[in-house]
């Protein structure tokens, strides 16, 4: 008789190593939601799982030393059913087309969960920003955007920041696109711009702030056993970029204690809590945390296993896998990063009763405030910071409620307990499928 193995049994069996291809992970996650979507038209499944289009561009850049180097970049539009594609651009040596495809699909689900009128997209350039000057990065950005041509646009596909791109990169994207389309309001072509170039107040902190609001709401709902508030909660953060370092600041402000934080070179730990202001200043001055006094040094692997209340992976994909999920020492996980947890690890954490706020919910604050920026750009308006944060808080709390309520409902109806990730996907897939059918299948 044929034996059906769960992802976890499959990953643990010696026959096949765990499949950590991000695109295949995004499809596996989708498949886990399918049993809870009995009315979904079967003919839509492949359409909803697949990207609409993938564009790859190849271009040469003159480096500062006069030599020439060729770079490759991708842009994937996963869905524009609910609105124009939306998604960040990543500069990283590990960028692959399958990674960009997965990230684009996750953007579709994320936008549906926070209910902003966008589809999903993502971009990436294969390069190592640590080896490139600002001038070289600007040339790469301009050639990449020129290569994409009219596949991006204020009403078609709207980029934003992601790993190793920031508001300067977004200003160059805007400027390049504006050079190609003179005489129009081109500000809504990209979000995450500096406030002085049409950016919005609160976008820089939005992803981390969204993680904070979502975590607060989950705890408030009593979903995290042994944790009743953020007061004195022990927080561990992997990554110290836009998401990680601002999460460290905001969780500290909210009364939590950040006991460990890392960057690509490793982490530091102090049981009594770190002075985050000083730690960040130290990293800015010295390039890493490594020699910060009075702390214990850790590898990134060790950091993930520290006993704590809240673990925030805020760096790369596939950090929590079948290899270490059984040793994760947190009471809950908030995925600041995209794709940090593998499907087999999801199963282990679920079995261990560790609630996990999935990326498509937890880090949706970034795209939510990007949407606010796009609205302001289209209307020539400027919202103040309090308004942006109040609207973000509302969106994040509503999204957590929609997902956690759905999880409860499925439990009541089926006596099965899907994870928050699966429940979030159920909500998102249902919303995208509904609009697909309401619009009518073309022709």
Residues near ligand NAD, by CB under 6 A: 161-164, 207, 238-244, 262-264, 300, 314-316, 336-338, 363, 366
The neighbour count for residue 221, using CB atoms within 10 Å, is 14
Cα pseudo-dihedral 228, 234, 238, 241, rounded to 10? 90
CB 268 within 8 A of CB 261: yes
3-state secondary structure of 353: coil
Whichever of 81 and 100 has its CB closer to ligand NAD, that residue is 100
| Element containing residue 260 per DSSP (H, E) | strand 257-263
Residue nearest to ligand NAD (CB): 241
Whichever of 40 and 161 has its CB closer to ligand NAD, that residue is 161
CB of 426 to ligand NAD, least distance (A): 21
| Helical ranges in 221-315 per DSSP H | 242-253, 276-286, 300-304
CB of 287 to ligand NAD, least distance (A): 11
Q: Distance (Å, rounded) from C-alpha 140 to C-alpha 358?
A: 32
Q: Distance (Å, rounded) from C-alpha 152 to C-alpha 177?
A: 9
Whichever of 8 and 314 has its CB closer to ligand NAD, that residue is 314
CB of 359 to ligand NAD, least distance (A): 7
Catalytic one of 86, 122, 193, 395: 122
CB of 242 to ligand NAD, least distance (A): 4
Is 122 catalytic? The answer is: yes
Sheet holding 234-238, edge to edge: 296-298, 266-269, 257-263, 234-238, 308-313, 330-334, 356-357
**In DSSP terms, which residues pair with 298 in a beta bridge?**
267
Q: Is 128 exposed, middle or buried (0-12, 13-18, 19+ CB in 10 A)?
A: exposed
| Element containing residue 45 per DSSP (H, E) | helix 45-49
Token reading at 378: 């289209």
**In DSSP terms, which residues pair with 62 in a beta bridge?**
68
CB of 425 to ligand NAD, least distance (A): 17
Q: Distance (Å, rounded) from C-alpha 267 to C-alpha 306?
A: 12
Whichever of 36 and 289 has its CB closer to ligand NAD, that residue is 289
Compute and round to an integer the Cα radius of gyration of the chain: 21
Q: Distance (Å, rounded) from C-alpha 159 to C-alpha 186?
A: 13
Whichever of 238 and 252 has its CB closer to ligand NAD, that residue is 238
CB of 204 to ligand NAD, least distance (A): 8
Whichever of 96 and 436 has its CB closer to ligand NAD, that residue is 96
- Active site residue ranges: 122
């Amino acid at each position: 008789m044929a034996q059906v193995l769960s992802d976890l049994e499959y990953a643990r069996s010696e026959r096949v190593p765990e499949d950590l291809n991000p695109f295949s992970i995004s499809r596996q996650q989708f498949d886990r939601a399918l049993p809870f979507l009995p009315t979904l038209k079967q003919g839509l499944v492949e359409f909803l799982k697949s990207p609409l289009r993938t564009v790859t561009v190849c271009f040469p850049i003159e480096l500062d030393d006069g030599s020439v180097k060729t770079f490759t970049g991708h842009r994937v539009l996963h869905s524009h059913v609910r609105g124009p594609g939306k998604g960040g651009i990543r500069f990283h040596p590990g960028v692959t087309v399958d990674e960009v495809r997965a990230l684009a699909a996750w953007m579709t689900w994320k936008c549906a969960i926070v209910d902003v009128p966008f589809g999903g997209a993502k971009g990436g350039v294969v390069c190592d920003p640590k080896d490139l000057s600002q001038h070289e990065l600007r040339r790469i950005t301009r050639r990449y955007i020129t290569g994409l041509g009219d596949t991006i646009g204020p009403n078609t596909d709207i980029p934003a920041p992601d790993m190793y791109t920031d508001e300067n990169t977004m200003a160059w994207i805007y400027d390049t696109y504006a050079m190609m389309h003179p005489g129009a309001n081109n500000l809504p072509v990209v979000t995450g711009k500096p406030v002085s170039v049409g950016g919005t107040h609160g976008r820089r902190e939005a992803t981390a702030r969204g993680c904070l609001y979502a975590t607060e709401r989950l705890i408030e709902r009593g979903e995290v056993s042994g944790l009743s508030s953020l007061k004195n909660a022990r927080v561990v953060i992997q990554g110290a970029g836009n998401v990680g370092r601002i999460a460290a600041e905001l969780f500290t402000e909210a009364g939590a204690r950040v006991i460990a934080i890392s960057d690509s070179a490793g982490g530091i730990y102090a049981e009594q809590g770190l002075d985050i202001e000083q730690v960040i200043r130290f990293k800015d001055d010295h390039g890493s945390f490594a020699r910060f006094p009075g702390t214990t040094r850790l590898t990134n692997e060790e950091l993930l296993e520290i006993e704590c209340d809240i673990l925030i992976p805020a760096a790369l994909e596939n950090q929590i896998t079948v290899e270490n999920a059984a040793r994760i020492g947190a009471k809950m996980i908030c995925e600041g990063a995209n794709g940090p947890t593998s499907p087999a690890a999801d199963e282990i954490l679920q079995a261990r009763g560790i609630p996990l706020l999935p990326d498509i919910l937890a880090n949706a604050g970034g795209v939510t405030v990007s949407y606010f920026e796009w609205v302001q750009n289209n209307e020539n308006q400027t919202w103040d910071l309090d308004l942006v944060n109040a609207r973000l808080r509302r969106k994040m709390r509503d999204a957590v409620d929609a997902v956690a309520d759905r999880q409860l409902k499925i439990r009541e109806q089926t006596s099965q307990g899907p994870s928050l990730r699966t429940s979030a996907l159920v909500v998102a897939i249902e919303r995208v499928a509904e609009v697909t059918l309401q619009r009518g299948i073309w022709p």
